[in-house]
Amino acid sequence: MSLDVLALLKEGLPESSGPRKRVVVIGAGMAGLTTALLLKEAGHEVTVLEGQNRLGGRILTHRGFAGDMYGEFGAMRFPLQHPLVQWLIQDKFKLAVRPFPMYDEDTFIYLQGKGVRRAEFSADQFDFDLLSHEAARTPHELLRHTVQPLVDIVEGEEAPEAWRRLLTDYDKYTLLGYLKERGLSDGALSMLGPLFNLEGRYHFSLVEWFSHYYEDVFGNLVYLVDGADALPRAFEPHLMDDIRLGAVVHAIDQTEKNVHVHYRVGRRSQRLTADECVVTVPFAGLRHMEIQGLDPDKWYAIRNTYYGRAHKLFMQFSERWWENDYGITQGLTVTDLAIRNVVYPPAGQDPRYRKGVMIASYCWEQDSMPYTPLAGEECVLQALEDLAKIHPQARDTFEFGVYKDWALDWFACGIGPLFRAFEMSEAAYDDVIRPVHRVWFANDACDRRHRRWVEGALKAAVKNAYAIDTGMRDEMPWKD
C-alpha cells in the first residue's frame, strides 16, 4: 500500500469511524509535534512529553549574539525539493524565507598549507599524486565519472525500479569501498575527500550518499528569516497546552489493553496511561529507557541504528570582514585543518551593525572528535588559530565564540542517524520502522530516503499517525 503522505499532511487524517484514542507522544521535535497535531485534529486525545524546556529537538537556534544576530546549532537550511517541510513552512505557517546558497566562487579551498579561491582552484597547484587520467578531469568530472554506473540506473529506469536496483546492487558498499573498487587512487581520494566533504562519509552507505548527491540536496536551499526555531514554535498555538515540558521518560509498560508511560519531573516519577504511545526521540536514547514488550529483533534494530557526531562552532566578530575584504556573502570554505569547514551564513546577520557571525568550524564524524575532549574556551581558541591561517582579519576582530557538540547532547545522542552498508535494504530496516504492540516509532531514522532531514521526521510522523488513526496495527502502510 502506498500513501500520499503530502496529501495527508495537507488535508489531515481521514475521518475515522473508530473510537477516540488517548495517545502519548514522547518528544517534541518535528516528528513529535507533527504526529501530535495530526492526531489531535483527527479528534484523539494527545499528550506530548518533552524532557527539555523547549520544542524543536535538533532544531536549535542560538540567540546569544549582539543585536538580532543568531546562529543555528541544528537545522539551518531547508531544501526546496523536500515538499513536506516546505508546505509547513510556506503554506501552513507562512514563515518568511530567503535563499541559503552553498556556493560562492570567492570562498577558499585551503589544503596542504595553501589557500586559493574556489574560482582559481586546479589540482596541479597541490601535491595530490593523481594518475594521468584523473588529472585530466576536474574534481567534479572525476567524481561524476566514478559514480556514473549509479547515474545510469537512475536515468535509465523508472523511479521505483531504479531505487530497487540501487538497493539490490549497491547497498553492500560503503562510499570508500565503492570508490576504491572503481579504481580511484589514494591521491584522488585525498583530493576529493575535503573538496566534497566525503571523508566523514567514507565508511557509511554509498546509496544514501549517492541519493543526496544525485538529488543535489544542497543546491536549492532556503532559511527561515526569523530563525529555524520559528518552525517548531509555529506549533505552539495548536499544541502548547498538550505538551508537558521537563518530563523525562524513563520507562514504558504495555498490557493487552493499554500502555503506561513513566516520566520524571524533578525527582518525582509520574505515570500516564494511554491507548497508544508514539516514540519520536532518537533510538540511541532508548538504550537508557526501560521498554517492556519489545522483541529481540526490535532491540537489535534500536541498538544498531548509528547516530553520527557533529559540531558547530560560531564566532562573533566586530566586523563582517568576509564581506568587506573578500566579497564573500555565502557558501563555505573547505580545509584540511582541524576546523574543516567554514560557513558564511546569510542567515542570522543584523544589517544594522558592522558585527557579524560565522560558523568557524563545522565538522562531522571523525573530524568532530578532536574537539570533543577540549574545554569550551579551548575549542574556540584552537579554531581561531586555524581560521586566522585563512583569514588573518579574524585575530583582531574576534569577540567570542560558542560551541555545540551534538554527541554530548543527552536528548539528541548525535546529529542524526546514518546508514551503513547493508542497512538500507535488509530486514533490520523493517525492524526499525515497525511498531511493537502499542508502542510506535516515528523519528528521522524511520525513513529510508531522508534520514537526518526534517523531511524524514515528517514522513515518519504522518505515516504513524495515519496507521494509529485507522487501526492498521499489523500492517506497514508507511514502508517505502
Q: What average pLDDT score do residues 338-367 get?
A: 96
pLDDT-derived band at 428, boundaries 50, 70, 90: confident
Q: Are 104 and 162 in contact (CB under 8 A)?
A: no
Residue 204 DSSP symbol: S
Minimum mean pLDDT range among 200-204, 446-450, 451-455, 469-473: 469-473
SS3 for 410-428 is CCCCCCEEECCCCCCCCHH
Q: Could you tell me the sign of the dihedral formed by the alpha carbons of 464, 465, 466, 471, in that order? A: positive
Mean pLDDT of the chain: 95
* pLDDT at residue 181 greater than cutoff 90: yes
pLDDT-derived band at 18, boundaries 50, 70, 90: confident
Q: Are 60 and 73 in contact (CB under 8 A)?
A: yes
289 closest CA partner among 5, 17, 9, 27? 27
Q: Could you tell me the sign of the dihedral formed by the alpha carbons of 78, 82, 88, 90, in that order? A: positive
pLDDT-derived band at 2, boundaries 50, 70, 90: confident
* pLDDT at residue 17 greater than cutoff 70: no
pTM, to two decimals: 0.95
Residue 459, CA distances (Å) to 185, 441, 454, 462 in order? 39, 12, 9, 5
Q: Are 282 and 29 in contact (CB under 8 A)?
A: no
**Residue 473 has what pLDDT?**
74
Q: What average pLDDT score do residues 11-26 get?
A: 89
**Residue 30 has what pLDDT?**
98
Q: pLDDT tens digits for 311-341?
A: 999 999 999 999 999 999 999 999 999 999 9
Domains (ranges, CATH) in the chain? 5-12+20-55+235-306+417-425+436-470 (3.50.50.60), 61-102+220-228+310-408 (3.90.660.10), 122-215 (1.10.405.10)
> CA-to-CA distance for 15 and 470, rounded, in angstroms?
9
